[in-house]
Structure 1
Amino acid sequence: KEQQQSRRSRSTRQKYEQQSSKRKTLIIMEGAEVVARSAEWWKVVVSTFSDEQWVQNFRMSKETFTYLCQRVQPAMEKQDVNYRLCVPLQQRVAIAVWKLATNADYRSIAHLFGVSRSTACKCLKAFCSAVEDILLPEAIQFPNGLPHCVGAIDGSHIPILAPQEYHTQYYNRKGWYSIVLQAVMDGKGLFWNVFAGLPGSMHDARVLRRSGLWNMADRLFGGQHRVIGDHDWGYYILGDAAHPQTSWLMKPFMDNGRLTEEQTNFNVKLSRARVGRWRCLLRRNDCNLDTVKSVVITCCVLHNLCESHGEDFREEWAEPVLFNQPDAPLQDGADTGVAARAALMSHLTN
């Protein structure tokens, strides 16, 4: 009997397993007639994954995945009873994480995990909702005990399908539809402030002014002060040329071809971070507009979770960007933090 089960396991694995030389991940070929909808792949194949295979497929170790399931369990157990009884919690979380990690279409995911497309969609929405309710408040926080530079801010355009309403507002300068993710990341590579969902046609400076970060600036950055040169200032973050210069937001000098060596070196120090663990942020997302916003926030939370659990990002996960990010026009108007930037430049170069 054990030999029969062993042969059945090997047969099932051979049936479902195809190694992608590009992604190094177990995939199911879309449209393959040999694939019938069943839960065998999840129950038989995934249970035999090595530690390496688990990380390659789910972008985190099995230990972190188990921890994630435990944390979202209270919220996800309150969801629709019909599909909750049919699909175990870990399988529902795996479906959502697989979607976020691969951005595969719902049809492929449904066949792979042995569920219907509507169930796969429900799993993603329920998981993202649980992450936002339970993990977001503790995972995205203002850093404590850090130097006066508490992070770097950047905007990223997330590709989406054209919305049915007001679609022209989501058409960005590069000629594709997107929503904007504004994120602030600290020196440890953790997000401590995220804001997503505004249309892709909106300027970075306008996105900033409509975000909670702008409204909370005085409270967040007006704490401890430090004298640098002749300037007395508090916490600050680093931005790019599209952001307004303020006492708490340092942006690079405009490169007009005549920058001094000090100014050039200052600009080099303003580096931007990139998230490549979750492919759904790099490719056009087929979810509706409300779900896309939730997906983006969830990916930021999962990034922090993986980083805090020591999950290494693998260079082979990085893919060429299919949608080039729009170049935001330079921010016009009076800069209120020019003196602070000059003092900081002098401090960094001396």
Structure 2
Amino acid sequence: MENVDVGILGMWLSVTARRKLLFQKRLEAARRNTEEKYRRVWEILQNSDDETSLFARRHMRIFHSLQSCRRRPSVWKFNRATEWWDVIVPSFTSLQWLQNFRMSEETFIYLCDKTRPVMGRQDTTFCECVPLKKRVAIALWKLATGSEYRTVGHLFGVSRTTVCRCVQEFCAELLLVPDQICFPDLEKFAEMAAYSENRWGILQCIGAIDGSHIPILAPQEYHCDYFNHKGWHSIILQGVVDGKGLFWNVFAGLPGSLHDARVLRLSTLWELASRSNLFPVHTKNIGGVNVGYFILGDSAYPLQNWLLKPFPDTGRLTPEQQIYNKKIWRAWVVVENVVGRLKGGWRCLMKRNDCDVKLVKSMTLTCCALHNLCENHGETYDIDWNAPVTAAEPVVAVTGHRGGGQGCPRGSYALLEQLNYYMTC
């Protein structure tokens, strides 16, 4: 076997050497032909008649100029205005940085360092690359304003293609999301439960879940699936946040026509819960019932041992149940406020996004990661960014069996009753 490999290697080396020799011979022949052509032209110009001497001298000068100087290779580049980024942005105050890029300059530099391995570029012989800070700023501007590629390109002095590439590279799911949205460990779960207990008096609560519609342009395939009950096309963002308003689980990309409960069952959160791998085993005895960690949801979600919701309002709630619902709502409304701040700060999630559905999904997850980044760095949220108040959305009546009848795990409704008794005593 080794002799065969040596034979193949020797044959390959021989063929390579022969090809190299033939190439050199052809190159030398081409050079000789060019020199011979120049020599013949020179003889013709020198042996010209007196009548054509002026014509000959002129062509001799042209011939000498072509022989003496050779034009350097260059790449044509469209001249664009970059004064806004080169002159105006460096003089921004802290407030202007926050208003335009949704973060301070210090956080922006930290973000550039994080994205350098993916978004960094180097100058070439023919063209200077777009600097890293400018590439990150282009992506942030697109996410914060939802402007068209053409508008962003005119502002930063780059082409639409460059803007598109910057957004795609910045919104790659493996860039920011794993670093900023992490599944909590045992210590973090205990910290979140203690925070909820101290703030709202709810034991073992580690967060709240809610869904939100992200407007999109109707896709060419299966566009009816993306038409939601509000009358426009969208994808759904499902987020779980802790008491401090930080995402620790996000799921996005499913068509807007799906119900929140259906989205939950198709998410990784439900898959982990079905295998009992969602939360660590850490229970507390409340009224004779062992209560583990759980999250809060609204009436759209199914009642589970790890997902609790208010009692369905059938008009016959007891005073204790009404008090319980108010306490649950105060803790759950955190996720609703977070989604409002998310869309207010990153307007690409509020306006109709004309990008591809896959890119819209990546942009949505990246915006959630940017929300966590800004919150962890103590960035200020301007209330003027809040979404305008719209008409109230239609509410579907909740039937009695959704409180814990069909499809509810055994003991989940008893858990709801014990928490109600604990929090209203």
d(CA) in 2 for partners of 1:326 and 1:219?
A: 36
CA distance in 1, matches of 2:299, 2:131: 48
2:407 counterpart (331, 334, 338): 334
What is aligned with 1:137? 178
Aligned pairs for 1:1-350 (under 5 A) are 37-77=80-120, 85-129=128-172, 132-143=173-184, 144=188, 145-146=190-191, 147=193, 148-217=204-273, 218-268=276-326, 269-270=328-329, 271-272=332-333, 273=335, 274=339, 275=342, 276-320=344-388, 327=395, 330=398, 332=402, 333-336=406-409, 337-350=412-425
Deviation, 1:342, is 1.4
**Structure 2 gap segments, 5+ residues each:** 1-78, 194-203
Structure 2: which amino acid aligns with 1:106? Y
CA distance in 2, matches of 1:83, 1:255: 69
* Cα separation, 1, equivalents of 2:414 and 2:398: 19
Alpha-carbon offset, residue 263 of structure 1: 2.1
8 A contact 2:215–2:232 mirrored in 1: yes
| Residues 220-256 of structure 1, C-alpha deviations (whole Å, 9 max, x = no match) | 2241111111211211000011111000000111122
- The answer to whether the 8 A contact 1:159-1:323 is kept is no
| CA–CA distance in structure 1, aligned partners of residues 315 and 225 of structure 2 | 34
Q: 1:154 to 1:45 in 2, by over 3 A?
A: same
Residues 112-147 of structure 1 deviation map (CA, whole Å, 9 limit, x = unaligned) = 111111211111111011xx2133223212341321
CA distance in 1, matches of 2:126, 2:208: 42
Q: Distance in 1 between matches of 2:377 and 2:396?
A: 35
Question: What is residue 25 of structure 2 aligned with on the other side?
Answer: none
Deviations 1:63-116 (A, max 9, x none): 001100100111223799899943111111101111111111112111111111
Which letter maps to 1:266?
A: Y
Contact 2:313 2:398 in 1 (8 A): no
Runs (4+) of structure 1 moved beyond 4 Å? 78-85, 321-332
Q: 1:78 to 1:39 in 2, by over 3 A?
A: closer
User: Normalized per residue, which structure has more helix?
Assistant: 2
Distance 1:329 1:84 in 2: 62
Question: Any conservation in 2 of the 1:185–1:193 contact (CA below 8 Å)?
Answer: yes
SS, match of residue 311 in structure 1: coil
CA distance in 2 between partners of 1:161 and 1:77 (Å): 31
Higher RCO (CA 8 Å, separation ≥ 6 residues): 1
1:83–1:119 contact (8 Å) kept in structure 2 = no
Give the structure 1 partner of residue 32 of structure 2.
none
Q: Deviations over 1:282-331 (max 9, x none)?
A: 12112110100000000000000000001121111112156976757758
**Which consecutive unaligned segments of at least 5 residues does structure 1 have?**
1-35
SS at match of 2:311: coil
Q: Secondary structure at the match of 1:220?
A: coil
Aligned-pair CA distance for 1:210: 0.7
The 3 A distance-change label for structure 1 pair 263 and 185 is same
Q: Count residues in correspondence.
A: 313
Once the two structures are superposed, residues 34-55 of structure 1 have per-residue CA deviations (whole angstroms, 9 ceiling, x without a partner) of: xx94211111110110111111
| Offset of residue 260 of structure 1 | 2.4
1:169-206 CA-partner distances (Å, limit 9, x unpaired): 00001110000000000001100000000000011111
- Structure 1 length as normaliser, TM-score? 0.83
**Structure 1 Cα separation of the partners of residues 255 and 356 of structure 2:** 14
Letter in 2 for 1:98: W
Change (3 A) 1:79 1:54: same
Q: In 1, Cα distance between the equivalents of 2:253 and 2:396?
A: 17
Q: Cα–Cα, structure 1 residues 329 and 184, in superposed 2: closer, same or farther, change >3 Å?
A: farther
**Aligned-pair distance for 1:348?**
1.8
